[in-house]
């Protein structure tokens, strides 16, 4: 990876006795969509607050294009656009007034981007209505427009899919992908939705109880999760016994007549022959594509998102 | 990053939250009621039409005293002032025994500096920081490439601007309404200033006559100063408490304490170091006894300045360092 746009090194933050984030490290490169996946309360938003200088890390440091916001806040944040937790804008101002407000906090020229950005997030029609009349999806889109006002190199989005309908989610996904590929923006996206991260991101870090449990390209994480087969056989108990003898610890029941066998494909013919020879009736054996959900279950030890 | 656009932002937000309109409305309603009540109350007594003859007789009598030259020095100065005052009114055909629009305006500043102006300052101050926390917008405001101190400074600047405007607006509304009832003329009338209470007696050695407009500007200046101090302290509570209701409640309690304490515990001398006790300084500048004997205008200015600087320092120190978890 070239010089990362964002790097977090050993970020740690406690509130009293409760450790919210512990030793979290990752890097986000230019043009890359980086997913930060974890259940609610895992420490995602606390991490983001440290990334953008809202909270001070107890330990560790953040660098945005090599600049630590703790040392030179204005210079570091000049490259960042963000939405933290929720797209909160001034409800008593119109969309345009909100954008103008934040453009005034940027170097000259930011205001001239407003028409283009409004078109980009499809908010032209409603730009002169008050934000209090917007739906959550519209706020989310206006929030992204706001984040892009300063032509950032790094975009930080906290749960961008929140409050959106499936069509809206698809739109945001397309937008994020094109920002990364066409403008070379590094995008950091936090989410508790596995499918979302899987479809949107190039790389992902899984955070659980304040710790990163796995980090890597989505494809690599997916292949790391043992490929699995779903075998429907009767009697299932007997099948489980036989398969466990061949592949200890890799068999799980899946419903009444089915088993999940985590074994590479070339081990399957022998396994099936074994079952048939022992008189077990095999009805089906199908390959299951692993998903981030499997990875997640695996690394968190079975806790669902 | 230039500073002025930040102040523009904050003023815009105050304006769009309709704070100015609310304050203007309160001023118009309150002053309207006061003027109406005064005019209605006075109607019973009626005014004397022959005031000119009275005033002319008085002037002639006092001139006589002066000519005979048997007055002690202090009385002499009083008589000279009274002649000048009556002559001013005679020359302009204004009844000297009645109030005038300009006098009402000055009187408003005195009365309003007991509570009204400070309450209005709190309307602005209480939520200028805490509302950003309540609405969650603080997360955007403080993640822009502008240091936290600059953001806070722009808010303080907007607040002080709003407070100056409020005091000015109070003066204008009072003059418009007072003038409507009592006439718009009389800014040049001589008034006495410089009274000091020395122990039990009135020390008049520093008393001198100035035109009313000059005195009014000074009274409004003092009223503005006291109100700005309340604003800065309210600003601090807004930063510290992060809640508009809590900030407003705290400031209200403090201000009300300031009106009660001198009455119910006047022997507790230490209260003269509290900011609330020093707030009505325009009133004791114009000659009313101060809340605690021995308090003077310069003393109050110093006490209020120290409070304002301390509140300012605390606001910035806390705001610049604290984690934002809103």
What local confidence, expressed as pLDDT, does residue A305 receive? 46
Chain A residues closer than 8 Å to B144 by CB: 77, 102, 105-106, 150
State yes or no: pLDDT of B127 exceeds 90: no
Q: What is the pLDDT of residues A222-252, one digit of tens each?
A: 776 656 788 898 888 888 888 888 888 788 8
Average pLDDT along chain A: 89
Q: What is the pLDDT of residues B281-304, one digit of tens each?
A: 888 888 777 888 778 888 999 999
- Mutate: best of B143, B150, B153, B318, partner A, most A CBs <10 A: B143
What local confidence, expressed as pLDDT, does residue B10 receive? 95
What is the mean predicted confidence (pLDDT) over A197-219?
89
> Using the beta-carbon criterion (under 8 Å), do B145 and A106 form an inter-chain contact?
yes
What token pair was written down for B69? 């030259």
> B296: burial class by Cβ within 10 Å (0-12, 13-18, 19+)?
middle
Q: Is B264 on the interface with A (CB under 8 A)?
A: no
Q: Is A257 on the interface with B (CB under 8 A)?
A: no
Share of chain A above pLDDT 70, in %: 96
What is the mean predicted confidence (pLDDT) over B87-106?
84
What is the mean predicted confidence (pLDDT) over A133-159?
93
> How far B10 CA lies from chain A's nearest CA (Å)?
9
* Phi, psi values for residue A25, rounded to 5°: -135, 140
A 55-84: CB under 8 A from B: 55-56, 73-78, 80, 82, 84
What is the mean predicted confidence (pLDDT) over A129-148?
93
Residue A195 banded pLDDT, cuts 50, 70, 90? confident
**Nearest CB to A77 within list B5, B139, B144:** B144
What token pair was written down for B238? 């807004």
State yes or no: pLDDT of B195 exceeds 70: no
> Using the beta-carbon criterion (under 8 Å), do A74 and B5 form an inter-chain contact?
no
CA A228 – CA A250 distance, rounded (Å)? 9
> Using the beta-carbon criterion (under 8 Å), do A104 and B137 form an inter-chain contact?
no
- Give the angle subtended at the CA of A29 by the CAs of A28 and A34, to the nearest 5°: 45
Contact B259, B270 (CB under 8 A): no
Beta bridge partners of B203: B196
Chain A residues closer than 8 Å to B147 by CB: 73-74
B 14-53: CB under 8 A from A: 16-17
Is the pTM value of this prediction over 0.80?
A: yes
What is the mean predicted confidence (pLDDT) over B268-288?
87
Q: Is A273 on the interface with B (CB under 8 A)?
A: no
Q: What is the pLDDT of residues A29-69, one digit of tens each?
A: 999 999 999 888 889 999 999 999 999 999 999 999 999 99
Q: Of B159, B303, B318, whose CA–CA distance to B235 is shortest?
A: B159
Q: What is the pLDDT of residues A177-189, one digit of tens each?
A: 999 999 999 999 9
What local confidence, expressed as pLDDT, does residue A22 receive? 93
Q: What is the pLDDT of residues B50-59, one digit of tens each?
A: 788 888 888 8
Beta-sheet strand order (sheet of A154-158): A80-83, A154-158, A186-191, A33-37, A203-208, A211-217
- End-to-end alpha carbon distance in chain A: 30
State yes or no: pLDDT of A304 exceeds 60: no
Chain A residues closer than 8 Å to B242 by CB: none
* Phi, psi values for residue A283, rounded to 5°: -95, -35
Contact B72, B141 (CB under 8 A): no
Q: Is A148 on the interface with B (CB under 8 A)?
A: no
Chain B residues closer than 8 Å to A150 by CB: 144-145
What is the mean predicted confidence (pLDDT) over A105-115?
93
What is the mean predicted confidence (pLDDT) over B125-149?
93
- Mutate: best of B10, B133, B144, partner A, most A CBs <10 A: B144
What is the mean predicted confidence (pLDDT) over B66-73?
80
């Amino acid at each position: 990876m070239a010089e990362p746009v964002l790097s977090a090194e050993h970020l740690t933050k406690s509130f009293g006795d409760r450790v919210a984030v512990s030793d979290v490290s990752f890097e986000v490169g230019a043009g890359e969509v980086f997913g930060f996946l974890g259940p609610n309360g895992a420490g995602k938003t606390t991490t983001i607050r440290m990334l953008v200088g809202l909270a001070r890390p107890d330990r560790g440091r953040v660098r945005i294009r090599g600049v630590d916001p703790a040392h030179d806040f204005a210079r570091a944040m000049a490259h960042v656009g963000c939405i933290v937790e929720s797209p909160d804008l001034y409800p008593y101002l119109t969309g345009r007034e909100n954008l103008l407000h934040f453009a005034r906090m940027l170097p000259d020229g930011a205001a001239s981007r407003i028409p283009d950005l409004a078109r980009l997030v499809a908010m032209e029609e409603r730009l002169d209505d008050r934000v209090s009349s917007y739906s959550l999806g519209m706020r989310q889109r206006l929030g992204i427009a706001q984040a892009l006002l300063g032509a950032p190199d790094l975009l930080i989005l906290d749960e961008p899919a929140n409050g959106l309908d499936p069509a809206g989610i698809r739109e945001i996904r397309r937008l994020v992908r094109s920002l990364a590929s066409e403008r070379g923006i590094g995008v950091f996206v936090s989410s508790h939705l596995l499918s979302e991260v899987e479809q949107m991101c190039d790389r992902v870090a899984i955070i659980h109880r304040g710790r990163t449990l796995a980090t890597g390209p989505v494809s690599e994480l997916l292949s790391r999760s043992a490929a699995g087969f779903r075998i429907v056989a009767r009697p299932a108990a007997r099948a489980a016994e036989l398969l466990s003898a061949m592949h200890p610890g890799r068999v799980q029941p899946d419903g009444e007549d089915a088993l999940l066998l985590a074994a590479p494909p070339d081990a399957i013919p022998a396994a099936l022959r074994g079952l048939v020879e022992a008189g077990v009736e095999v009805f089906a054996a199908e390959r299951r594509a692993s998903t981030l959900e499997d990875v997640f279950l695996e690394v968190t030890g079975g806790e669902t998102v | 990053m230039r500073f002025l656009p930040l102040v523009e932002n904050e003023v815009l937000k105050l304006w769009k939250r309709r704070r100015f309109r609310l304050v203007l409305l309160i001023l118009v309603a309150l002053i309207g009621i006061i003027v109406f009540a005064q005019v209605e109350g006075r109607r019973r007594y009626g005014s004397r039409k022959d005031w000119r003859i009275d005033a002319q007789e008085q002037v002639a009598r006092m001139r006589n005293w002066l000519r005979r030259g048997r007055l002690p020095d202090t009385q002499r100065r009083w008589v000279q002032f009274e002649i000048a005052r009556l002559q001013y009114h005679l020359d302009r055909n204004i009844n000297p025994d009645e109030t005038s629009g300009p006098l009402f305006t000055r009187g408003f500043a005195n009365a309003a500096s007991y509570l009204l102006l400070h309450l209005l300052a709190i309307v602005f101050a209480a939520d200028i920081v805490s509302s950003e926390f309540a609405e969650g917008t603080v997360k955007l405001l403080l993640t822009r490439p502008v240091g936290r101190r600059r953001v806070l400074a722009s808010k303080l600047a907007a607040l002080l601007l709003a407070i100056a405007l409020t005091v000015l607006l109070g003066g204008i509304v009072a003059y418009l309404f007072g003038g409507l009832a009592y006439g718009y003329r009389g800014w040049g009338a001589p008034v006495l200033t410089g009274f000091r209470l020395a122990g039990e007696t009135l020390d008049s050695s520093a008393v001198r006559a100035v035109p009313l407009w000059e005195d009014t500007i000074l009274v409004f200046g003092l009223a503005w100063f006291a109100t700005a101090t309340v604003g800065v302290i309210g600003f601090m509570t807004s930063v510290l408490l992060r809640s508009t209701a809590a900030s407003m409640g705290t400031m209200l309690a403090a201000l009300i304490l300031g009106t009660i304490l001198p009455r119910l515990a006047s022997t507790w001398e230490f209260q003269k170091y509290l900011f609330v006790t020093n707030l009505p300084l325009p009133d004791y500048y114009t000659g009313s006894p101060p809340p605690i004997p021995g308090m003077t205008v310069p003393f109050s200015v110093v006490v209020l300045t120290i409070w304002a600087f301390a509140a300012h320092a605390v606001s910035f120190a806390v705001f610049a360092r604290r984690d934002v978890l809103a």
